[in-house]
Amino acid sequence: MNVGKFREKVRDREFVITCEAGPPKGTDIDEMLEELDEIGYLVDAFNVTDQQSSVMRLGSLAVAHLIEDLGHETVYQLTCRDRNRIALQSDLLSAEVLGLENVLALTGDYTNLGDHGDAMPVFDLDSPQLLEVIGQLNSGVDMNGNELKGATDLFPGASVNPGADPLEPQILKTKMKVEKGAEFFQTQAVYDSEVLKRYMEGLRDEGIDVPVLVGILPLKSAGMARFMNKNIAGVSVPDNVIELLEDSSNVVEASLDVCARVIKETRDFCEGVHLMPMGWEEYVPELAEKSGIA
């Protein structure tokens, strides 16, 4: 496999932009691919989510392959929730064969959060263990030490939550993921640059120096902001942002302004942006222009 531009840019500490791509709940993929293709010139890679929030959808492996066929790099998300160690290793081998290079190792949300609440979760491995498995496959053996007929050459990343409270366990968890092989991180949604700044300072205090991409999720309403504050651990939308959304006659513009401000304020101490448009893909160009990352 030829090393892709995303891997090169991350390792060279160039500023990178990723954008989340959520597969549809069904087989009609044309509209999604068309929307992503239109904004592909703005991003370095599309993050293809894997049954996000435990909602059953089209698989990330297939969708990532289709996006790559359009000429765009992807970050293939792989969660431990739905697969045992045999299936996880098999899917990583499949990713290599299909030409997928970048992998985001995730533990995954609990199944009771999704649309199949009675589904049995697996969690045979967690994300640090999955990162270790990727390293083993890259070295030419499976996790039991059996030799492979052809090694992988995957570029592993992981997620982090800079808004975790207390923060110290999250710093230690980040350190563990680095030790297991993570070469880049994407964060949960951030609405206060000071949150990310404290996290980055904590990493430096522990001697951790790995590229971090700040998570940017546009808020569609004040109600959405309150819901996130109540239900998503580690994500905190400040009161002044909620008030801005409530008082604005144009919620889209207000939301994009908030995101653009966070991007501008964090650009000096992180290595990129991870956009999570969640149906607002059409506004990605405007956000890129407002924030200066276009």
pLDDT of residue 33: 97
Are 117 and 111 in contact, with CB atoms under 8 Å apart? yes
- On the question of pLDDT at 1 being above 60, the answer is no
Q: In the chain, where does DSSP find H-type helix? A: 5-11, 30-39, 60-69, 85-97, 127-138, 168-179, 193-205, 222-231, 239-247, 251-266, 284-291
49 token code pair: 């989510």
Question: pLDDT category, 74, cuts 50, 70, 90?
Answer: very high
Model pTM greater than 0.85?
yes
Cβ neighbours around 2 below 10 Å, total = 8
The whole-angstrom distance between residue 212's C-alpha and the CA centroid of its chain comes to 11
Answer yes or no: are the C-beta atoms of 93 and 152 closer than 8 Å.
Answer: yes
pLDDT tens for each residue of 130-188: 999 999 999 999 999 999 999 999 999 999 999 999 999 999 999 999 999 999 999 99
Query: Confidence band (pLDDT; 50, 70, 90) for 3?
Result: low
What's the number of domains the chain is made of?
A: 1
pLDDT in tens, 109-128: 888 888 898 899 999 999 99
What confidence tens digit (pLDDT) does each residue in 175-230 have?
A: 999 999 999 999 999 999 999 999 999 999 999 999 999 999 999 999 999 999 99
C-alpha–C-alpha distance, residues 281 and 183, integer Å? 27
Domain ranges, residue 16: 5-291
Residue type, 149: K
Residue pair 61/94 in contact (Cβ under 8 Å)? The answer is yes
According to DSSP, the β-strands at 212-216 and 272-275 are parallel
Residue 36 · residue 69 · CB < 8 Å: no
- In sequence order, the 6+-apart residues with CB closer than 8 A to the CB of 273 are 15, 16, 17, 18, 213, 214, 216, 263, 291, 293
* Contact partners, residue 169, CB within 8 Å, separation at least 6: none
- Measured in degrees and rounded to the nearest 5, phi and psi for residue 187 equal -100, 165
Instruction: State mean pLDDT over 27-39.
Output: 96
d(C-alpha 171, C-alpha 83), whole Å: 27
CA–chain centroid gap for 271, Å, is 14
Identity of residue 88: L
Q: Which two tokens stand for residue 193?
A: 């640059």
CATH of the domain at 91: 3.20.20.220
